[in-house]
Amino acid sequence: MSVVFIHIGLPKTGTTHLQDRLWRNRDLALQSSGLLYPGNRMTDHFHAATHLQPERYLDWVNPDFADAWPNLVAQMKAWPGKSLVSHELLATAKPEHIATLLSDLSFADEIHVIATVRDLARQLPSVWQENIKNQRRADFAEFLASVRDHGPAVPGFVPPVGGDEEEPFWEFQDYVRILSDWADAVGPKRVHLVTVSPTRDTPGESIWERFLRVLDVDPAPLTLDVPTTNSSLPAAQAEYLRRLNHHLQPSDVHWSRYDGVVKGQVIQILKRAKGAPLGLTAEQRVWAAEAADDMVEAMRTRGYQVTGDLADLAVSTTAGADAEPPTDEQVLDVAVETMAEMVKQAPIRDNRPRLRTRGMNVVRRVRRRVLGWRRSK
C-alpha cells in the first residue's frame, strides 16, 4: 500500500537534525523498514516547499530547482510502500497550497501529516535567536511583545488592528491553526503530533525515536548519526550579534555576503563560547504558560494522534536556568574577542609579485644590462 507522510516541522523542533539523519540513513531505512526518503539532493525537500509557496518564498524560489518536487513525486509514485517528505517551511502552507500538494500525491492510498512541536518556553528564545542569526534587529523584549499581541489563534483571541510590525512567529508556530488546516484536508486521524520531550535522558523518548515510531521504522539499523550543529548562543554573544545587525541590514549588505561572513564565520566563532542563552523571566513565563495551556486544551478534542505527551508542551511559571540580559561590558568583551579571532583567521593578502610581474622584472633587468653594456662601449 502506498502511504506518504508529510512532515511540516514546526521550525526549531529538531527538524534539521531529523532531516540530516534521515538523509544519511536513507539507504538503511529503505532496506530495513521500507521507508523511502526521496530526493537526488538533500535540498530537494527545501526547494519543493518553496516552489509550493512562491509568493511567500519569492527570494528562495530558484528556477534551477523547479524539478525538485516533480522528481520527489515521481520517486514516491514508483515506490509501493511508505515515503516521507520533510521540511519545516511546509508549516506556512495555506489551504490552497495544501490542496495543490495533495492533488500531486493523489496516487497514494493514504496521506499522513506529522508535526513536531516543542513548548513555548523553549521555542520563544530559540526562534528569537534564529531571527538574530538572519539579520533581524528586535531585542528579546520587543520580539515577545509582538508575539504576545498577535496570537495564538485560540478561542477568544482577537487579533489587533494596525500597530507595530508583526514578528512572523505564529505563522510558523501556531500549531492549533496549522494542524487544523491540514486536518481539514487529510482528516484528524491522519494528523500526528509529536511532542519534544523536555528531558533528553529518557530512553526511547528522543525526538528521533518518537518520530520514527510514527513511521513504524525501527531505529536500531539506522546507525549513522549526525553531530548537533545548530546550538544556541550564550546571552552576551546573541546580543553582540543583534547589535551588529543594526549595521548590516539588507540595504547595506547583500544576503550572500551576510550569509558567507556573518553566518559562515562570525557565528561560528560565537558558538564556541560557553554560557546560558537568554530565556523567559518569571513574569514572561506567566503569559507563556497561559498561552500554552490554551493551545494544549484546544488539541485535546481534535482527534489527532499524539506521540509523546501533551504535558510536554506545558510551561512552568518558575524561571529556569536562563541567563539575565548581558551588560554593555560583557557585550564589549564579546566584540573584542570576536574581532581578535577574525584577525587570526582572516586570509593574508599576498603581496608577492605575480608570476607575470616577476617575469617582466627579469626582462627589464636584462634590458638594463644590455643598454648599460652598449653605453659603456
Taking only the tens place, the pLDDT of each residue in 157-205 is 445 545 556 688 999 999 999 999 999 999 999 999 999 999 877 888 9
User: CA–CA distance from 213 to each of 109, 182, 192, 336 (Å)?
Assistant: 20, 21, 11, 47
Provide the pLDDT for residue 320: 66
b/e map of 48-58 (b: 16 or more CB within 10 Å)? bbbbbbeebbe
DSSP code, position 86: E
Place 373 in a pLDDT band, splitting at 50, 70 and 90: low
**Res 219 pLDDT > 70:** yes
Provide the pLDDT for residue 150: 83
Provide the pLDDT for residue 346: 82
- The structure's pTM equals 0.87
Distance CA 170, CA 147 (A): 7
DSSP code, position 251: T
Q: What is the pLDDT of residues 347-371, one digit of tens each?
A: 887 766 655 665 666 566 656 565 5
For cell 511567500, name the residue. 56
Which of 130, 45, 51, 27 shows the shortest CA–CA distance to 84?
45
Least confident span in 20-34, 58-72, 109-123, 222-236: 222-236
Place 247 in a pLDDT band, splitting at 50, 70 and 90: very high
Provide the pLDDT for residue 318: 81
Domain ranges of the chain: 3-228+280-319, 233-276+327-365
Distance CA 98, CA 53 (A): 10
Which overall architecture, per CATH, does domain 3-228+280-319 show?
3-Layer(aba) Sandwich (3.40)
Mean pLDDT of the chain: 90
Cβ neighbours of 240 (radius 10 Å): 24
- Helix, strand, coil content of the chain in percent (nearest 5): 55, 10, 40
Place 372 in a pLDDT band, splitting at 50, 70 and 90: low
Q: What is the pLDDT of residues 90-129, one digit of tens each?
A: 999 999 999 999 999 999 999 999 999 999 999 999 999 9
Provide the pLDDT for residue 355: 58
Q: What is the pLDDT of residues 140-151, one digit of tens each?
A: 999 999 999 887
pLDDT-above-70 percentage for the chain: 88
Query: Can you tell me the mean pLDDT for 2-18?
Result: 96
Provide the pLDDT for residue 164: 56
Q: Are 240 and 331 in contact (CB under 8 A)?
A: yes
**Res 8 pLDDT > 60:** yes
Question: Which residues, at least 6 apart from 99, have a Cβ–Cβ distance to it below 8 Å?
Answer: 185
Distance CA 319, CA 316 (A): 7
**Res 81 pLDDT > 80:** yes
Q: Are 14 and 207 in contact (CB under 8 A)?
A: yes
Q: Which class for 303: exposed (0-12), middle (13-18), buried (19 or more C-beta within 10 A)? A: exposed
How many separate helices (H) and strands (E) can be counted in the chain?
16, 6
Q: What is the pLDDT of residues 301-318, one digit of tens each?
A: 999 999 999 999 999 988
**Res 276 pLDDT > 60:** yes
